[in-house]
Every structure is written in C-alpha cells, then in structure tokens.
Structure 1
Amino acid sequence: MQNNSILGQDTTPPTPPTQDEKTLGLLAHVITFISTFLGPLIIYLVKKDESSFVSEHAKESLNFQITMAIISLILIISLIGILLIWVVGIIDVVLVIVATIRASEGKLYRYPFALRLIK
C-alpha cells in the first residue's frame, strides 16, 4: 500500500521489519540532527547487506541530507539566499520527523524532493 502526500511517500515493505530494523531505520533519520550525513552513511555501510529495510532508510536519509547541504550551499553563495536559509532548516526538521515516524511504523519512506545520488 502506498501513501503519497506533500510530505513524501510511504509504502509497506514486502516483509515486515523486526523491531531492531525499525529502530535502526528511525535512527538513520534522527541521527542527522547531530551528524548530518555521516550517521546515515555509517548505518548504510554497516547494514546494507543485512537488512533491506534499514538500507533503504539509511540511503533515503543520506540522499536527503546531501540534497539539503547542496540547497544550503547554493543559498549561502547567493547573498539573498542567506535570508532564506532558515526555511531549509525548518523543512529539514519537519521531514526528518515524518521519516522517523514512518520508520517506527515499519514503512518505507521517500522524501519528496531528495536527489537520489546513492542507489
């Protein structure tokens, strides 16, 4: 089952994740508050072959944080963009919270406008 909205897209995985997988999936999103893209990268590299659920969440989180970094960099380079950088921060926090909730529910989540650099 798939749910699309302005806040992203969630789907039910083919096999239900274990509680440990849900915890690591939500950690891949929450850890970005203290480590930006480094946390999801480590989770992805460690768990990519063990759990498709955790791997998907870590990749999605990593791609979104890279996208947010690129947008922030562009805004900082353009002087008027410095005034709008706070909007990026609010969008980042809201969407990370949504992704964390979806992971805790055992659903796969796709951010609405992340570049899919890590496949």
Structure 2
Amino acid sequence: MSENPVDPNPASPPPPPSGGHHPSGIESEQRQWAMFAHLSAIAGAILTSGVGGWGTFLGPLIIWLVKKDTMPFVDDQAKEALNFNITVAIVFFALWVLVFVTLGIGLVIAIPAWFVIGIAWLVFTIIAAIKANDGVAYRYPFSLRLVK
C-alpha cells in the first residue's frame, strides 16, 4: 500500500491584507465610490431618460461634488464618468439636430448611430466600473475633457 505523497503540513496562504488595502494601494472605500460613480450613469439611464439624457451624468456629478475633496481616486474617476456621459449626451443631441434639420430624413443615420453608441456606452461604462473597483484609473475613449 503506497502512501499519499501530499505534504501533511502544507504552507498556509498569507492572510488577506487588512484595513481595506488593495495591491493598487487604493482603499476599498475609494474603489467602491469610484465604481459607483461609473455605475450611477447606468442607474440614471434606467431611471430617467435613457442613454444620452440628463440622468446619465447626474449620478457621477453628485458623487464628484460630494467626494472630490476627500477621495482623490473618486475625484478622478467621477470626473472621467461625468466627462464621458456629457460627451455622449452631446453626440445624442447633435444627432437630434441632424434629424430636425433634415426634416426626419436624418433618422436613417441617427437610429443606427444611437443604437451603436448606446451599446458602446454600456460596454465602456461596465468596463470602467470594473477597472475602478480594481483600483485602476480608467480613461474612456472618445471623451471630451470638459470637467477638469
């Protein structure tokens, strides 16, 4: 009968860091608020007027205004979410202008554009929330830096 070659005293893994510290060096509370800044845009879209509406940048704006002086990572990420959502709102507004100027013919361009931009907005917002929760400062592509 052969013995099991497994070591009876395996080395125990190191305990997780205490105090909310993370390998990124950013505390869990800041990472969580930064994630909320990004996700609040989705909540705003669901609760108010959809993608491109005022509800998408209201959540990031409130979080930025409340936390900007006490949490530097949240300040950065909330501004990033705010800038991205303002940019998307400007693009949606420009597409509406196109529709009105062309007396509705612009819908041929606007409807597919709204669909593609809406999907991209959702994907980028979810990626940003995940990165923020990991302590990574995410930068949205195609975003105007209006709030500095």
TM-score tier by shorter-chain length is: 0.7 to 0.9
Q: Offset at 1:60?
A: 0.1
Q: Which has the larger radius of gyration?
A: 2
Matched, 1:86 2:95: no
Deviation of residue 99 (structure 1)? 0.3
Stretch of structure 1 that moved more, 27-36 or 71-80: 71-80
- 1:10 paired residue number: none
Which residue among 42, 46, 49 is the counterpart of 1:33? Answer: 42
- Relative contact order (alpha carbons < 8 A, sep ≥ 6): 1 or 2 greater? 1
The 4+ residue runs of structure 1 with deviation greater than 2 A are none
Shift of the alpha carbon at 1:83? Answer: 3.4
TM-score by length of 2: 0.68
Give the percent of matched residue pairs that are identical in Structure 1 and Structure 2: 46
> How high is the TM-score relative to the length of structure 1?
0.84
Is 1:61 paired with 2:98?
no
From the two aligned structures, give the one with the greater strand fraction.
1
CA contact (8 A) 1:76 1:82 kept: no
Per-residue Cα deviation, 1:15-61 (whole angstroms, up to 9, x for no partner)? 72111111000000011012200000000000111011000010000
Q: Which residue of the partner structure matches residue 42 of structure 1?
A: 62
Give the residue type in structure 2 aligned to 1:104: N
- Stretches of structure 2 that go unaligned for 5 or more consecutive residues are 1-23, 45-55, 99-105
Q: Distance in 2 between matches of 1:31 and 1:24?
A: 10
What CA RMSD, in Å, does the superposition of the two structures yield over aligned residues? 1.1
2:130: which partner in 1? 101
Cα deviations across residues 66-88 of structure 1 (Å, max 9, x unaligned)? 00001111112222323321111
Q: Distance in 1 between matches of 2:67 and 2:114?
A: 33
CA distance in 2, matches of 1:84, 1:54: 31
Task: State the SS of the aligned residue for 1:109.
Answer: coil
Count of matched residue pairs: 105
- Segment of structure 1 superposing worse, 83-92 or 19-28: 83-92
Structure 1 or 2: more helix by fraction: 1
